[in-house]
Amino acid sequence: TPTFRIALIAGDGIGKEVMPEGLRVVQAAAERFGFELDCRTIDWASCDYHAQHGQMMPDDWKEQLQGVDALYFGAVGWPATVPDHVSLWGSLLKFRREFDQYINLRPVRLFEGVPCPLAGRRPGDIDYVVVRENTEGEYTSLGGVMYEGTEREIVIQESVFSRHGTDRVLRYACELANSRARKHLTVATKSNGIAISMPWWDGRADAIGRDYPEVTVDKQHIDILSARFVLQPTRFDVVVASNLFGDILSDLGPATTGTIGLAPSANLNPERRFPSLFEPVHGSAPDIYGQNIANPIAMIWSGALMLDFLTQGQGAGRAAHDAILGAIEAVLRDGPRTRDLGGTASTTELGMAIAERV
């Protein structure tokens, strides 16, 4: 049996509650489809760990993760004790960068049984995937403050785009669009306002797009693109965006499907030189932690993406992914439901219901 080594990082808050359910379901799928998950629990990359050690991870975190195929990740952040930028730059964002997980894949889909906040939209109307650049762009700590603490204070913040980093995400998105029925790619930009990086980004989109004559490439400014996620969601198939724009679109998209509590994400190093990371889009939600009421579906769906990626090219992973997705669909349609979707089921009950169906 093919075996995959998984590091389980629950992190903070509801990350700790949804992790066991995610694991329950991926284990069930592994059993059914004949592969093995060799799992190891890791307590770092959490604010608890920070409380004890004054940092988010041990110095040798990279060595400790050697040989691991994937990180299955809950959520990080506990602002009451560690400021968000410290906890995030010390764990999640570090993984994304140092493991070169340059693709952040975020499917957006409206399910039967989930009330849609958009009037008159039905399952099938909203079904696209956001491909977010995940290692550079607007997320940097480059820049600084001049005349600090005075009235004349000036702050410079730098964004960095490399051709290497830009071309590969554009190419990934083109390949993905090319593999889908509609072959439609939306490129998020803001070249009319952000005058250096974005016109250049447009140029790279043109250059890469030329290699995919069958893909329709549609560039849209982020302002009107956000509006169209609400007004014309059916027009989207694959959407590629910079780090920041992808962050915004991949919260906004799920919101139009009823809740960001369902949205999964795959942080991929497609070349498999480093482990990839799979996590819900939602955060650690301190406000609902401790009650076992969090919806574990985003975690479970992220697990499905993990199995699919790990076994790519082998039928079993795709089948496991589809079985989990099918179980999620069935539970969303028929219940049980967690509180966020109007039910009373606990996190655990939901995980068990989905695992059973798998």
Nearest CA-CA partner of 321 in 26, 6, 2:
26
Grouping H, G, I as helix, E, B as strand and the rest as coil, residue 262 is helix
Out of its own copies, ligand IPM, none, what residue 259 binds, judged by CB under 5 to 8 A for its kind, is its own copies
Identify which range of 52-60, 97-105, 170-178, 192-200 contacts its own copies by CB under 8 A: 192-200
Helix or strand holding residue 334 (H, E): helix 315-334
- The smaller minimum CB distance to ligand IPM, of residues 87 and 311, is found at 87
- Count CA atoms closer than 13 A to 167's CA, side-chain side: 7
Out of ligand IPM, its own copies, none, what residue 312 binds, judged by CB under 5 to 8 A for its kind, is none
- Contact status: 169 vs its own copies (CB under 8 A): no
Residues in region 146-185 near ligand IPM by CB under 6 A: none
Sheet holding 264-268, edge to edge: 36-42, 3-11, 70-75, 276-280, 264-268, 103-109, 127-133, 238-241, 184-189, 216-221
Out of its own copies, ligand IPM, none, what residue 116 binds, judged by CB under 5 to 8 A for its kind, is its own copies
Encoded one letter per residue, x for contact with its own copies by CB under 8 A and - for no contact, window 82-101 reads: --xx--xx---x--------
CA distance 8 to 25: 14
User: How many other CB atoms sit within 10 Å of the CB of residue 82?
Assistant: 21
Nearest-approach distance from CB 88 to ligand IPM, in angstroms: 4
Do residues 273 and 67 touch, judged by C-beta distance below 8 A? Answer: no
Give, in degrees to the nearest 5, the angle at Cα 131 between 3 and 29. Answer: 30
Pick one of 91, 104, 134, 159: the residue that binds its own copies (CB under 8 A): 159
Pick one of 48, 55, 97, 200: the residue that binds its own copies (CB under 8 A): 200
Q: Alpha-carbon Rg of the chain, whole angstroms?
A: 20
Residues in the chain: 358
- Contact status: 88 vs ligand IPM (CB under 6 A): yes
- Contact status: 247 vs ligand IPM (CB under 6 A): yes
Identify which range of 6-14, 218-226, 268-276, 345-353 contacts its own copies by CB under 8 A: 218-226
Q: Which residues bind ligand IPM (CB under 6 A)?
A: 88, 192-193, 223, 247, 281
**Interaction site with its own copies (CB under 8 A):** 77, 84-85, 88-89, 93, 115-120, 138-145, 150-164, 190-200, 222-224, 226-228, 230-231, 243-244, 247-248, 250-252, 254-256, 259-260
